[in-house]
Amino acid sequence: MCDLRRPAAGGMMDLAYVCEWEKWSKSTHCPSVPLACAWSCRNLIAFTMDLRSDDQDLTRMIHILDTEHPWDLHSISSEHREAITCLEWDQSGSRLLSADADGQIKCWSMADHLANSWESSVGSLVEGDPIVALSWLHNGVKLALHVEKSGASSFGEKFSRVKFSPSLTLFGGKPMEGWIAVTVSGLVTVSLLKPSGQVLTSTESLCRLRGRVALADIAFTGGGNIVVATADGSSASPVQFYKVCVSVVSEKCRIDTEILPSLFMRCTTDLNRKDKFPAITHLKFLARDMSEQVLLCASSQTSSIVECWSLRKEGLPVNNIFQQISPVVGDKQPTILKWRILSATNDLDRVSAVALPKLPISLTNTDLKVASDTQFYPGLGLALAFHDGSVHIVHRLSLQTMAVFYSSATPRPVDEPAIKRSRTAGPAVHFKAMQLSWTSLALVGIDNQGKLSVLRLSPSMGHPLEVGLALRHLLFLLEYCMVTGYDWWDILLHVQPSMVQSLVEKLHEEYTRQTAALQQVLSTRILAMKASLCKLSPCTVTRVCDYHTKLFLIAISSTLKSLLRPHFLNTPDKSPGDRLTEICAKITDVDIDKVMINLKTEEFVLDMNTLQALQQLLQWVGDFVLYLLASLPNQGSLLRPGHSFLRDGTSLGMLRELMVVIRIWGLLKPSCLPVYTATSDTQDSMSLLFRLLTKLWICCRDEGPASEPDEALVDECCLLPSQLLIPSLDWLPASDGLVSRLQPKQPLRLQFGRAPTLPGSAATLQLDGLARAPGQPKIDHLRRLHLGACPTEECKACTRCGCVTMLKSPNRTTAVKQWEQRWIKNCLCGGLWWRVPLSYP
């Protein structure tokens, strides 16, 4: 038995922020019964809440928020007739399932790829039969984290693809999308989404003798099968398990079920506790893709007990008589599947909610001794919420306590035993629904008063918080998010300003150890990750502008090169863009016209309308080159945006290639050239800037430490402000999010629907100097179009970097559409889009 009342030394969990409802006169938000909550891999949180009007009518609401801006809540009137019982995000975090107590299931998807605009076009119905469990079908993608190999150099060793079959496949092995649900009457229903948009739905009984199903959960096996666990709510009844196989036969969905071994909870077989815990209140597989381990909780009115069980294959002893007739050799010994208890707790306060980790950590041995040795890792803990208001993080196998959080406002010593705490009069505020983030470093809970709380979970749970250990864990999880594409906001909650420099350097070091092909795939993601880290420290905050600018530069370069077409159909191996890169790297001449001579200019011919439509992007390239060269004399100032470009040979080479392309296109259509304000009408501004840019590029093009630019180059750059008007670049605005303003042990109290006045950190104060002042004209950061001081077009903003762009395109040329399609789903930093009002700040 494990005692949850004694938290392990060094366990740490603290409140980051609380969001509550404003008291309205005409309607009231009240917690739904039951209350459902779900946390996506993009760090969107969905939860249910009922809206009660004066005449006591209930509207079933689904609320969706981004964890960085929790006050900016998007509310959906779900049109569910009965209480919503389940919410479930898909693997991409872009679709949401909701199910109710009337058997209705709805699939919600983003409208126009906006995180605050949702629509439901498909669904299914098992009329009058409440849904008790719901899940998306498995897509066959499973990436395991190998904690013991966290120090390996290759990402392939740290994160390995696990052989896992999809629940159902289309022609060619492509996984088929859909969902599976279990009803209270013992039915299992499967809905398949065909590529044509049609929904195939089938319903089947789990077994011949149908009975009431009060609790159920769904898990998947590596062979493509589905396992369903059910309980009727009584601890005196067995917990039943079923294997479900889904197939498509003659354009119809077919469901086959098979009974698996069942179990009785250990507490019911103990004579002293036989009637102490009459009800099973929680039934959960430890993970969606871990059908061999299950967590059970039995409760009375005042207390609970938690048990962890594992399904194991055991050999059957063979009688000697049969041994003589047919000797058992090697692996031919008959086996049987049996449920064995791994661990159980002592008597606890009544459990109100359970949250399980989503991090797929691979353990080489599930033995409890090994589990105890690795219990500090965040993905190995699950959360239990109790009716006394406390939350315990316990090891998912041994059930030993790793950390405890008390929601009471009265400060109490962490090491005070819970058994000595005095009970408060009346029902305590406690979580009714909880979810762990995808890296298990944050926890969201909705309490019985409707308030939403986000808690930080220490990356060194259960062990003393050493900076070196915390850095290793955070780096490992950042790498995991880089490989999977998951949002890493919950990791940033634990990054202190003193850690930023080390994390950025180590992240870059690990990135450079990967293969060239993998580096190319992850090149933009690591830049976005570095930018978000640098926001957290005043020493690195100006690098944020540089990283975002580099993302923009890479996107422009790849888009413009993709417009180039070979002159002949029988093209060589290299594309025109590759040849451009090769020739510009080989020819170091400072004269732009001499570089042009070596190129096949016929490959650069484009339609005149296309060239004119690209003028704003070409103008930005020209302005940025001029800004960089003009800032060279001040290169010693780290606080000046653009500083890192002056030593970045790759970026300078990219700018040099674009200047050559722009020069060629200018011969075709002069009006597409960047416009400069020069003091002399006869000055060739493009040639001047290319000459200075080439000299600067030569200083740092080779690998190794860059050489200092000579004095003649610095002197020429000093003269630029007297020759050309230096533009003021529009940097991304300072983010108004929470993560850079959260302080340890100082939780923020927020209100839904009301933007707070947040305390500014040293980092954000420095960024504010680079942002636009109120009342100044606003800009479309992706199209580089000026929107005016009061935009009349609808816009969307990135939830992470604050980038703003118009919802509808003002241009219809193919090249501009190609540019805009790159950002239709996500911002260039990978963040989600959020529709903003016309009067956005």
CA 384 – CA 362 distance, rounded (Å): 23
Q: Does 2 score more than 80 pLDDT?
A: no
What is the model's pLDDT at position 334?
78
pLDDT-derived band at 6 (thresholds 50, 70, 90) equals very low
Query: Sign of torsion, CA 515 517 521 523?
Result: positive
CB-based contact 628:643 (threshold 8 Å): no
What is the model's pLDDT at position 1?
60
Q: Over the chain, what is the mean pLDDT?
A: 87
Cα–Cα nearest to 150, from 337, 353, 376: 376
- Beta-carbon contacts of residue 241 (< 8 Å; ≥ 6 apart): 227, 228, 229, 230, 259, 260, 261, 262
pLDDT (tens digit, 9 = 90+) per residue, 779-788?
Answer: 999 999 998 8
What is the model's pLDDT at position 768?
43
Highest mean pLDDT of the ranges 167-176, 189-198, 221-230, 758-767: 221-230
Write out the two tokens for 593. 């016209």
Write out the two tokens for 450. 């409707």
pTM of the model: 0.92
Amino acid identity, position 240: Q
CA-based radius of gyration for the chain: 30
pLDDT-derived band at 329 (thresholds 50, 70, 90) equals low
pLDDT, mean of residues 149-175: 90
Q: Mapping DSSP to helix (H, G, I), strand (E, B) and coil, where does residue 171 land? A: coil
Write out the two tokens for 64. 């969706």
> Cα 94 from chain centroid?
11
Give ∠ CA 824-829-830 in degrees, rounded to 5: 55
What is the model's pLDDT at position 342?
93
What is the model's pLDDT at position 743?
80
Higher pLDDT, 230 or 647: 230
CA 665 – CA 669 distance, rounded (Å): 6
End-to-end CA distance of the chain: 57
What is the model's pLDDT at position 149?
87
pLDDT, mean of residues 434-455: 95
CB-based contact 484:141 (threshold 8 Å): no
How far from 365 is each of 370, 371, 373, 462, 769, CA to CA, in Å?
7, 8, 11, 20, 54
CB-based contact 181:192 (threshold 8 Å): no
CB-based contact 243:227 (threshold 8 Å): yes
Tell me which of 260-264, 267-271, 332-336, 625-629 is least confident.
332-336
pLDDT, mean of residues 167-177: 89
Tell me which of 5-9, 83-87, 821-825 is least confident.
5-9
How far from 402 is each of 43, 358, 431, 436, CA to CA, in Å?
24, 18, 19, 15
pLDDT-derived band at 453 (thresholds 50, 70, 90) equals very high
Q: Does 277 score more than 50 pLDDT?
A: yes
Tokens 């009984």 identify what position?
205
Determine what percent of the chain falls in helix, strand and coil, rounding each to the nearest 5: 25, 30, 40
pLDDT-derived band at 412 (thresholds 50, 70, 90) equals very low
Torsion of Cα atoms, 626 then 628 then 633 then 635, to 10°: 170
Query: Sign of torsion, CA 376 379 380 383?
Result: positive
Q: Does 414 score more than 50 pLDDT?
A: no
CA 834 – CA 66 distance, rounded (Å): 9
Q: Mapping DSSP to helix (H, G, I), strand (E, B) and coil, where does residue 62 land? A: strand
pLDDT (tens digit, 9 = 90+) per residue, 580-591?
Answer: 999 999 999 999
Q: Mapping DSSP to helix (H, G, I), strand (E, B) and coil, where does residue 464 land? A: coil
pLDDT (tens digit, 9 = 90+) per residue, 79-124?
Answer: 999 999 999 999 999 999 999 999 999 999 999 999 999 999 899 9
What is the model's pLDDT at position 375?
44
pLDDT, mean of residues 232-249: 95
Q: Mapping DSSP to helix (H, G, I), strand (E, B) and coil, where does residue 520 land? A: helix
What is the model's pLDDT at position 301?
93
Tell me which of 21-35, 52-66, 252-266, 462-476 is least confident.
21-35
CA 277 – CA 347 distance, rounded (Å): 10
Burial of 811 (0-12, 13-18, 19+ CB in 10 A): middle
CA 342 – CA 269 distance, rounded (Å): 16
pLDDT, mean of residues 30-39: 88
pLDDT (tens digit, 9 = 90+) per residue, 222-240?
Answer: 999 999 999 999 999 999 9
Give the single-character DSSP code of 540.
T
290-296 long-range CB contacts below 8 Å, 24 or more apart? 290/219, 291/219, 291/220, 291/221, 291/227, 293/342, 293/397, 294/217, 294/229, 294/239, 295/354, 295/356, 295/382, 295/396, 296/231, 296/239, 296/265
CB-based contact 802:730 (threshold 8 Å): no
Q: Which backbone phi and psi does 543 adopt, to 5 degrees?
A: -70, -20
pLDDT, mean of residues 264-281: 87
CA 566 – CA 576 distance, rounded (Å): 6
What is the CB neighbour count within 10 angstroms for residue 58? Answer: 13
Q: Mapping DSSP to helix (H, G, I), strand (E, B) and coil, where does residue 297 land? A: strand
CA atoms within 13 A on the CB side of 754: 10
CA 778 – CA 757 distance, rounded (Å): 22
Q: Does 519 score more than 80 pLDDT?
A: yes
Q: Which backbone phi and psi does 832 adopt, to 5 degrees?
A: -80, 155
Q: Report the relative pairing of strands 452-457 and 442-447 from DSSP bridges.
A: antiparallel
Q: Does 420 score more than 50 pLDDT?
A: no
685-689 long-range CB contacts below 8 Å, 24 or more apart? 685/724, 686/592, 686/622, 686/659, 686/662, 687/591, 687/592, 687/593, 688/723, 689/622, 689/625, 689/626, 689/629, 689/659
Q: Does 183 score more than 80 pLDDT?
A: yes
Higher pLDDT, 411 or 524: 524
What is the model's pLDDT at position 783?
94
Q: Does 830 score more than 70 pLDDT?
A: yes
Give ∠ CA 710-723-669 in degrees, rounded to 5: 105
Cα–Cα nearest to 474, from 488, 454, 455: 488
Tell me which of 47-51, 148-152, 236-240, 350-354 is least confident.
148-152
What is the model's pLDDT at position 32?
75
- Please state the length of the chain: 841
What is the model's pLDDT at position 130?
97
